[in-house]
Structure 1
Amino acid sequence: MTSKGTCHMPDILRTSDNKERRVGVEVEISGLSYEKLVALTARLLKGEAKETSRYVSSVQTPLGDFTIELDSDPIKELDLKDNRLPESIRELGGHAMDIIDAAAEKIVPLEIVSPPIPFTKLGAIETLCDELREAGALGSREAIVYAFGLQLNPELPDLKPTTLVNYFRAFAALYDWLKSRHQLDISRKFTNYIEPWDSEYIDLLLSDNYEPDQQQLMNDYLRTNPTRNRALDLLPLFSHLDDELLREHVEDSRIKSRPTLHYRLPDCDIDNPEWHFSSVWNDWIVLEQLVANAADLKELTGLYRDSRKLSFRNLTSSWTENCHRWLESKGYV
């Protein structure tokens, strides 16, 4: 199996304790049955599949354990013996379940969740996505009801507040550019899953003298963004840093503690022959490289801060286009 794309690597490839950085990947698709997706994933990744619960399977591979699941808790947890269900449905038994399953697989995404994978092993995800497309996997563009995403959970090189601020500033400046490249489907544009950060928070973040400690950094963000529904969701990271402080602002059982960012913006456009996992990943690497270059980061965030001011020039120009031209001039794209 071969892939058409190459996953680029950042300059900062190792953590502060000299371990290779890793990333978790989440891919949402349709077009394949749950059973077929499990079997294909196991074969393509040279793994062994084991069902762990209804509509949830673990695929044990040389890269670690992948999870394949239907992304709907009510369907996964459905019990036809539940007395809360109408008696007519309970009496249908397996026939009712078959109907429910068939309907669910038409409108609810199937999700592939990877273990943390070393950056240098991401070619396996590129190949997996390409092979699933060949097998008939569908993405967001297939129907208006679909709003499927591809999510990245990149491990940070370290957790110092100065490092986090640099990543946050880079993302704020690149948000419109990233959205123009990877958030194409109208179904996701009408959802609140991928909202930008609050404007007041961005103004604070971009201030030249903004040098918060960890507690202030978390409080400043959570005061205006107490939700998972952000294009770059920081709640898993903040849970890892100080879960007690996080819970003072937001209580959500879905938040999973991990020392990573949670990048939720991109569509999964897997049925498009021109789309590849590496395209999404390589644009994230632009952000990584920007963070690694302090002078360029300062220049771009300064330009972005100026673009947010009310002026005739800003009203008649596009930050997305200006950002792209700047990235081209600096050799990032």
Structure 2
Amino acid sequence: MTDTQGDPRRCGVEIEFSGLTAEKVADITTRILGGTADQTDDHAFTITGSEIGGIEVYLDTALRHADSSAVKAIGLDLGQAVIPVELVTEPLTLDQMAPLDRLRSALREAGAEGSRAGLAYGFGVHFNPSLAARDTKSITHPLLAYALIEDWMRSAHPIDFSRKVLPFTDPYPTDLVRAFCDQGFVTPEAAADLYLRHASGRNYGLDMLPIFAWMDKEDGTDKVADALGDGSTSARPAFHFRLPDCRIDEEDWSLRGEWLRWLLVEEIAADEALLVKLMHGWEDAHGRVTLSRAPWARRCGEILDEAGVPARTIARDKIKDEGEAA
């Protein structure tokens, strides 16, 4: 499948963790994936020529953007104990996910720590899948699919139904989901209007603001900037999918496993009949007032299970994996 430019769709990945310095992470990255690491600032490195292209490694703090000064340097040095390191890739093909998982394994062995290592560790993994096209099926359908299954994804892992998920991002407001259920498969422009009316913040599991800001740029409008009161949103034709935690230090955790969550969203988005069934189910479970999200989370899981969607998504990924191995 191609993106809005006609190129193969790609996905940028962002990983947050602690336990290692940015310099150590850069060293491990070049050892595992090759390339050259250049220090660009205090606790910030750029890696070029790696097996998966360019990679940025840095302490994830606003101090990085301050003017160079002794105060900045001291603040960054002191912050290493509590500020996560972030590793950011350039947009990758799906085939490049395997080398990235190899790096993840090496970082774990070196002492990288994930969300469960500390009570205040709200680390996450972010995927930025490129947009296939500027149309309802490519923009509204994935947004609607995610909004409808979010409660289920937060209550149970799509593969292991017993694994609970820590919600470090806000769930979509029920008013937003209700508006989509009322209006159905609206145009991307109408979807943006509904989203900005009911969920104009950034801290959601699926942040649509980059796509809507990109649409503004294409149209010469300022809907996102007007809704937020500033123009700070990065405009790009890509979803911003925030996973609720990063378990890089757990041996059975993998980026590929987390990537299945997005594949699940796209699998559902491609099935209009299933989307309609989920919309009707959501409305039946909520009525006009939502007292609890739990009943819908359970019913949503039943609907998806009846449709065979989780198993189908896993099978599709397994076939692809076996094909690569062959």
> TM-score when scaled to structure 1?
0.81
Deviation at 1:162, TM superposition (A): 4.4
RMSD: 2.7
Tell me the residue number matched to 1:170: 145
CA distance in 2, matches of 1:16, 1:316: 36
AA partner of residue 257 (structure 2):
S
Q: Quick check: 2:155–2:165 contact (8 Å CA) kept in 1?
A: no
CA distance in 2, matches of 1:317, 1:128: 37
Larger mean Cα displacement after TM superposition, 58-67 or 145-154: 58-67
Q: Cα gap change, 1:73/1:17 in structure 2, threshold over 3 Å: closer, same or farther?
A: closer
Q: Cα gap change, 1:19/1:242 in structure 2, threshold over 3 Å: closer, same or farther?
A: same
Deviation at 1:67, TM superposition (A): 0.6
Tell me the residue number matched to 1:153: 128
Deviation at 1:326, TM superposition (A): 2.7
Tell me the residue number matched to 2:208: 234
Deviation at 1:235, TM superposition (A): 0.9
Unaligned segments of structure 2, at least 5 residues: 158-162, 311-326
> CA offsets per residue over residues 166-207 of structure 1, 9 Å max, x none?
111100111012223469576xx4x5xx11222222111112
Q: Cα gap change, 1:145/1:252 in structure 2, threshold over 3 Å: closer, same or farther?
A: farther
Deviation at 1:25, TM superposition (A): 0.6
Larger mean Cα displacement after TM superposition, 237-246 or 100-109: 100-109
The answer on 1:59 being equivalent to 2:33 is no
Tell me the residue number matched to 2:3: 15
Q: Choose which of 316, 319, 325 in structure 1 pairs with 2:302.
A: 325
AA partner of residue 319 (structure 1):
W
Deviation at 1:36, TM superposition (A): 0.5
Q: Choose which of 7, 15, 35 in structure 2 pairs with 1:27.
A: 15
The answer on 1:41 being equivalent to 2:15 is no
Q: Quick check: 2:14–2:127 contact (8 Å CA) kept in 1?
A: yes
Deviation at 1:49, TM superposition (A): 0.8
- 1:222-301 matches, within 5 Å, as 222-243=196-217, 244-252=222-230, 254-301=232-279
Q: Which has the larger radius of gyration?
A: 1
Q: Quick check: 2:58–2:87 contact (8 Å CA) kept in 1?
A: yes
1:128 is paired with a residue whose SS is helix
Q: Quick check: 1:50–1:58 contact (8 Å CA) kept in 2?
A: yes
Larger mean Cα displacement after TM superposition, 209-218 or 150-159: 209-218
CA distance in 1, matches of 2:293, 2:115: 32
CA distance in 2, matches of 1:318, 1:106: 40
The answer on 1:110 being equivalent to 2:88 is no
CA distance in 2, matches of 1:71, 1:317: 34
Unaligned segments of structure 1, at least 5 residues: 1-12, 86-95
Q: Quick check: 1:24–1:152 contact (8 Å CA) kept in 2?
A: yes
State the number of aligned residues.
300
CA distance in 1, matches of 2:292, 2:22: 49
Q: Quick check: 1:140–1:185 contact (8 Å CA) kept in 2?
A: no
Q: Quick check: 2:141–2:185 contact (8 Å CA) kept in 1?
A: no
1:274 is paired with a residue whose SS is coil
Deviation at 1:71, TM superposition (A): 0.4
Deviation at 1:64, TM superposition (A): 2.2
Q: Cα gap change, 1:268/1:24 in structure 2, threshold over 3 Å: closer, same or farther?
A: same
Q: Cα gap change, 1:309/1:205 in structure 2, threshold over 3 Å: closer, same or farther?
A: same
Tell me the residue number matched to 1:8: none
Deviation at 1:62, TM superposition (A): 3.8
Q: Which of structures 1 and 2 has the larger relative contact order (alpha carbons within 8 angstroms, sep 6+)? A: 1
CA distance in 1, matches of 2:142, 2:260: 16
Tell me the residue number matched to 2:313: none
Q: Quick check: 1:149–1:266 contact (8 Å CA) kept in 2?
A: yes
Q: Cα gap change, 1:31/1:319 in structure 2, threshold over 3 Å: closer, same or farther?
A: same
Tell me the residue number matched to 2:317: none
Q: Quick check: 1:55–1:76 contact (8 Å CA) kept in 2?
A: no
Deviation at 1:163, TM superposition (A): 3.1
Q: Cα gap change, 1:258/1:16 in structure 2, threshold over 3 Å: closer, same or farther?
A: closer
Q: Cα gap change, 1:284/1:57 in structure 2, threshold over 3 Å: closer, same or farther?
A: same
Q: Cα gap change, 1:145/1:22 in structure 2, threshold over 3 Å: closer, same or farther?
A: same
Q: Cα gap change, 1:305/1:78 in structure 2, threshold over 3 Å: closer, same or farther?
A: same
